[in-house]
């Protein structure tokens, strides 16, 4: 593969001509001036007619012309054989054999696209060889250092608690191309794009193009780098997964393959130790769902990308759902497995992802009709909670699982619905536990959560219920629970007394004390509204 950029483990013809030994020969390029970026892999000097048979390709051939023949036909054949062999360039030293290169040699080189250089002064070929080979070795060392630097960065990321996605993103940024990890059978585990090219095509779109047709799956496009991750077994089991680096945005160079091979060793160890292919695939789906929610995937492109990830919802509406857990959860692999197993019995198409950093499990579900929303939400909530219970994450002592269900609709609605559900699930942590929450019914809670860092919200809470908080900190019985229960029952005293296990007169006395401390009338609608908001908001302020 000839690339116009960095040479593949050598130097360019142009660079060789710039070195002192060849420069002293006053080189003149007489053919192939547009091919001087070809890679010089090695230098060879020779004067025999059949020298092409001794070469492997990529050589810079030095000669005085003794083997080129005397007849034009011989000269043309000599140049064509070198061009067919794929040498980098032919350098002929003028002198006793040629005072100027014959037209047959120049014309054939020009036709074959072979760089042809004539030297007007005699040069020691051994000096040329030493200088070019030294430059090539230095170039190899530089490539090794760049590859080792990527390997070091990948290792540091893993030691700092990162995983396979972070390693793949380092590779993607280094190569300026998307990077994919697939199973040995060719199924996508994770797709990483490059942050260096914001306008680059989405990795899932690239993958769909690469794997969309059987012929492409069997024979990757030219320039694609494939690196196997060993699995420790024999035969087919010896390959656990495979790195796929297509040359989409930039040509792939030798150093990119070297870096991929070093990273593959790290990835193989990670996969064998954690057996996390299932979680990795779930994180890939989680990245897609997050990108969809945050508007980085358009509603037009989303269906095709979702199909790549195995989600085929049909023609009905799509229902967004978010499960919220503690971000410190460390067992996402068994959780992803358990949730998928439990959801398999729900009876609708499901796309489930995980976002460990945020502690979220976003989902999309395919409905046959919008009327199914409540029934499907009931079944999904049961399945999600059962999956969490199987992994023991509901007994960790932290906030319990929160399930929030958005509105059903098309792909555009799914994007906004996922974002709304994700925020609402965070705001809902700590509320009275329910099987699932309707995102629409928690808009006030979400608004207060968004204002949590505003000093005005804390001041409002302090003005509205501060005297009760001060009372409850030093006196008994506490009055805030009485007020909360009273407002929750819309001012119905009999129901409030029953829930608090109080007789009527005791409740009346407590409510009178609340009114006295706050200096308000609990029968005033504006007062009731302000107190209700303050009681909700106190969960979100210090």
Q: What pLDDT does residue 200 have? A: 63
Q: Does some domain include residue 409?
A: yes
Choose the final residue of a domain: 441, 473, 501: 441
Q: Does some domain include residue 50?
A: yes
Query: What is the tally of structural domains in the chain?
Result: 4
Q: Are residues 242 and 130 in the same domain?
A: no
Q: What pLDDT does residue 328 have? A: 60
Handedness of CA 385, 446, 357, 227 (dihedral sign): positive
Counted residue by residue, the chain has a size of 542
Q: What pLDDT does residue 331 have? A: 63
Q: Are residues 329 and 384 in the same domain?
A: yes
Please state, in angstroms and as integers, the Cα–Cα distance from residue 143 to each residue in 43, 137, 256, following that order.
Answer: 20, 10, 9
Q: Are residues 524 and 490 in the same domain?
A: yes
Q: Does some domain include residue 288?
A: no
The residues, ordered by sequence, that sit 6+ positions from 219 with a Cβ below 8 Å of its Cβ are none
DSSP label of 95: S
Q: Are residues 386 and 427 in the same domain?
A: yes
Q: What pLDDT does residue 536 have? A: 87
Q: Are residues 167 and 251 in the same domain?
A: yes
Q: Does some domain include residue 286?
A: no
Q: Are residues 23 and 125 in the same domain?
A: yes
Q: Does some domain include residue 219?
A: yes
Give the CATH number for residue 248. Answer: 3.30.450.40
Q: Are residues 408 and 356 in the same domain?
A: yes
pTM: 0.60
**Cα(532)–Cα(13) distance, rounded to whole angstroms?**
79
Helix, strand, coil shares of the chain as percentages rounded to 5?
A: 55, 15, 35
Residue identified by tokens 């040699």 is 105
Choose the final residue of a domain: 387, 407, 441: 441
What the block records as the tokens of 204 is 């899932």
Q: Are residues 237 and 345 in the same domain?
A: no
Give burial (CB, 10 Å; 0-12/13-18/19+) of 291.
middle
Q: Are residues 424 and 319 in the same domain?
A: yes
Select from 203, 347, 377, 174 the least CA-distant residue to 284: 203
**Cα(274)–Cα(330) distance, rounded to whole angstroms?**
12
What the block records as the tokens of 412 is 């555009």
Give the CATH number for residue 358. Answer: 3.30.70.270
The residues, ordered by sequence, that sit 6+ positions from 363 with a Cβ below 8 Å of its Cβ are 289, 320, 321, 322, 323, 343, 350, 351, 352, 353, 380
Choose the final residue of a domain: 229, 254, 274: 274
Q: Does some domain include residue 152?
A: no
**Cα(94)–Cα(90) distance, rounded to whole angstroms?**
13
Q: What are phi and psi of 152, to 5 degrees?
A: -65, -45
Give the CATH number for residue 26. Answer: 3.40.1390.20
List b or e across 221-255, with b for residues whose CB sees 16 or more CB atoms inside 10 angstroms.
eeebbebebbbeeeeeeebbbbbbbbbbbbbbbbb
Q: Does some domain include residue 294?
A: no
- At 229, is the secondary structure helix, strand, or coil? strand
Q: Do the Cβ atoms of 122 and 25 come closer than 8 Å?
A: yes
Which residues are 324's β-sheet partners? 360, 402
Chain-centroid distance, C-alpha 470: 50
The residues, ordered by sequence, that sit 6+ positions from 284 with a Cβ below 8 Å of its Cβ are 165, 188, 189, 190, 191, 309, 353
Q: Are residues 207 and 100 in the same domain?
A: no
**Cα(425)–Cα(291) distance, rounded to whole angstroms?**
18
DSSP label of 226: E
pLDDT along the chain (542 residues), means of 10: 46 91 93 92 89 90 90 93 94 91 94 95 91 80 79 86 85 89 85 72 80 54 82 61 86 83 85 68 88 89 88 92 77 80 90 86 93 94 90 66 93 92 88 87 88 90 92 91 91 92 92 92 90 89 80
Q: What pLDDT does residue 35 have? A: 93
- At 59, is the secondary structure helix, strand, or coil? strand
Q: What pLDDT does residue 136 have? A: 80
Report the interhelical angle of 411-428 vs 443-450 (nearest 10°).
Answer: 70
The residues, ordered by sequence, that sit 6+ positions from 107 with a Cβ below 8 Å of its Cβ are none
Q: What are phi and psi of 231, to 5 degrees?
A: -110, -5
The residues, ordered by sequence, that sit 6+ positions from 434 with a Cβ below 8 Å of its Cβ are none
Please state, in angstroms and as integers, the Cα–Cα distance from residue 449 to each residue in 295, 308, 420, 488, following that order.
Answer: 22, 36, 13, 20
Q: What pLDDT does residue 2 have? A: 41
Q: What pLDDT does residue 429 have? A: 83
Please state, in angstroms and as integers, the Cα–Cα distance from residue 169 to each residue in 1, 133, 399, 521, following that order.
Answer: 25, 35, 32, 60
**Cα(380)–Cα(321) distance, rounded to whole angstroms?**
9
Residue identified by tokens 């942590």 is 429
Give the CATH number for residue 470. Answer: 1.10.10.2840
Q: Does some domain include residue 298?
A: no
Range of the domain at 363: 310-441
Q: Are residues 314 and 254 in the same domain?
A: no
Q: Are residues 469 and 429 in the same domain?
A: no
């Amino acid at each position: 593969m000839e690339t116009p950029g960095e040479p593949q483990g050598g130097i360019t013809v142009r660079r060789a001509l710039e070195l002192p030994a060849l420069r002293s020969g006053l080189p003149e390029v007489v053919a192939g001036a547009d091919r001087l970026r070809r890679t010089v892999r090695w230098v060879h000097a020779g004067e025999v007619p059949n020298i092409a048979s001794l070469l492997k390709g990529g050589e810079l051939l030095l000669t005085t012309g003794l083997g080129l023949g005397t007849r034009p036909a011989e000269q043309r054949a000599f140049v064509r054989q070198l061009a067919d062999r794929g040498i980098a360039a032919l350098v002929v030293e003028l002198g006793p054999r040629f005072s100027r290169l014959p037209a047959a040699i120049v014309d054939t080189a020009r036709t074959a696209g072979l760089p042809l250089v004539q030297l007007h002064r005699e040069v020691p070929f051994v000096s040329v060889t030493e200088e070019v080979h030294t430059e090539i070795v230095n170039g190899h060392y530089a490539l090794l250092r760049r590859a080792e630097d990527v390997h070091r960065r990948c290792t540091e990321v893993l030691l700092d608690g990162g995983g396979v996605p972070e390693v793949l993103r380092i590779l993607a940024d280094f190569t300026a191309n998307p990077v994919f990890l697939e199973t040995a059978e060719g199924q996508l585990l994770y797709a990483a794009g490059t942050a260096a090219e914001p306008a680059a095509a989405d990795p899932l779109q690239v993958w769909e193009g690469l794997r969309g047709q059987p012929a492409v799956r069997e024979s990757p496009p030219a320039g694609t780098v494939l690196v196997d991750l060993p699995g420790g077994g024999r035969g087919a089991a010896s390959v656990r997964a495979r790195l796929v680096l297509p040359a989409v945005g930039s040509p792939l160079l030798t150093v990119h393959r070297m870096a991929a091979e070093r990273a593959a060793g790290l990835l193989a160890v990670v996969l064998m130790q954690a057996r996390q292919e299932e979680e990795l695939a779930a994180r890939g789906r989680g990245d897609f769902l997050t990108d969809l929610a945050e508007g980085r995937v358009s509603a037009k492109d989303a269906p095709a990308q979702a199909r790549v990830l195995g989600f085929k919802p049909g023609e009905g509406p799509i229902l967004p759902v978010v499960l919220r857990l503690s971000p410190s959860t460390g067992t996402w692999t068994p959780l992803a497995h358990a949730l998928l197993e439990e959801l398999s019995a729900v009876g609708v198409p499901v796309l489930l992802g995980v976002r460990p950093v945020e502690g979220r499990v976003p989902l999309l579900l395919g409905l046959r009709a919008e009327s199914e929303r409540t029934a499907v939400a009931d079944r999904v909530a049961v399945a999600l909670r059962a999956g969490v219970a199987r992994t023991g994450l509901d007994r960790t002592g932290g906030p319990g699982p929160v399930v929030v269900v958005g509105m059903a609709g098309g792909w555009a609605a799914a994007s906004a619905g996922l974002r709304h559900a994700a925020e609402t699930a965070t705001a809902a942590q700590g509320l009275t536990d329910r099987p699932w929450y309707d995102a629409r019914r928690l808009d006030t809670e979400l608004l207060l959560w968004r204002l949590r860092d505003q000093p005005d919200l804390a001041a409002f809470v302090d003005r509205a219920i501060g005297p009760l908080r001060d009372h409850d900190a030093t006196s008994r019985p506490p009055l805030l629970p009485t007020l909360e229960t009273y407002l929750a029952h819309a001012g119905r005293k009999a129901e409030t007394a029953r829930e608090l296990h109080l007789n009527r007169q005791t409740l009346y006395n407590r409510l009178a004390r609340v009114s006295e401390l706050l200096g308000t009338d609990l029968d005033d609608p504006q007062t009731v509204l302000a107190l209700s908001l303050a009681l909700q908001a106190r969960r979100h302020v210090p």
